[in-house]
Amino acid sequence: MLIPHDTRIALDTVVDLVNTAPESEPPPDDPADGPVDGLADVAALYAFAERHHISGVGTLGEKDLATVRDVRARFAEVFAAPDPRTAADLVNRLVAAAGTTPQLTDHDGYDWHVHYFAPDASIADHLAADCGMALAFIIVAGEQERLRRCEAPDCGHAFVDLSRNRSRRYCSSRTCGNRLHVAAYRARRKEAAG
């Protein structure tokens, strides 16, 4: 599946955004700690914007934090959508609410690509438009089933399965996948020894 660089960047951004939600976090070592929100405050939102090179952010406040959290929740619904029609409806509502204004741009050393957000859009509208259109690209390609949640019982992170045969089951084969394979191996050895 050939994905343009701007779409890939937006997919990485939406996955990271969804995974900042407390319900996406693995359970803490101490249950009293509870899940942690990756967008706990405005400083975390600034850090997120910087990490993903979101341009034109300007001054952010509590209202921006609340609207980005709302967008995050709606993107999580897209990852949980049972079928492409439901996912498309969710994406359509997100993109329409953002007031998209597609325009070609070639900034920061990237070749020509499309920004879907209006100039001076809020960070929530920026995310809803660009990330929503990236998810639309996946749905239009007939690949909605690539929008997944990690199958590790203690994880639940969102990811986009870009493997050739759509067989990826874990957000990270190095952490979640390897941990479960080692646990299964140890269980088989224990059963064989017992």
Q: What is the per-residue pLDDT across 132-163, written as a single tens digit (0 to 9) for each? A: 999 999 999 999 999 999 988 888 899 999 98
Of the ranges 23-32, 89-98, 160-169, the best mean pLDDT one: 89-98
Backbone angles phi and psi of 126, in degrees to 5: -60, -50
Average pLDDT value over all residues in the chain: 86
Strand pairing partners for 103? 115
**Cα-flanking dihedrals φ and ψ of residue 117, to 5°?**
-90, 150
Q: Read off the pTM.
A: 0.84
Given this model, what pLDDT does residue 5 score?
Answer: 80
**How many Cα atoms are found within 13 Å in the side-chain-facing hemisphere of 83?**
2
Please spell the DSSP secondary structure of 27-72, one letter per residue.
Answer: PPSSTTT----TT-SHHHHHHHHHHTT-TT--S--HHHHHHHHHHH
Q: Is the pLDDT of residue 94 over 80?
A: yes
* pLDDT, position 49: 96
Rg over CA atoms, the chain: 18
pLDDT at 181: 57
> Minimal CA–CA distance to 98: which of 70, 130, 125, 136?
125
Q: Looking at 9-13, 19-23, 29-33, 160-164, which range is the least confident one?
A: 29-33
pLDDT for the residue numbered 169: 87
Percent of the chain clearing pLDDT 70 (strictly above): 85
- Mean pLDDT value of segment 172-193: 66
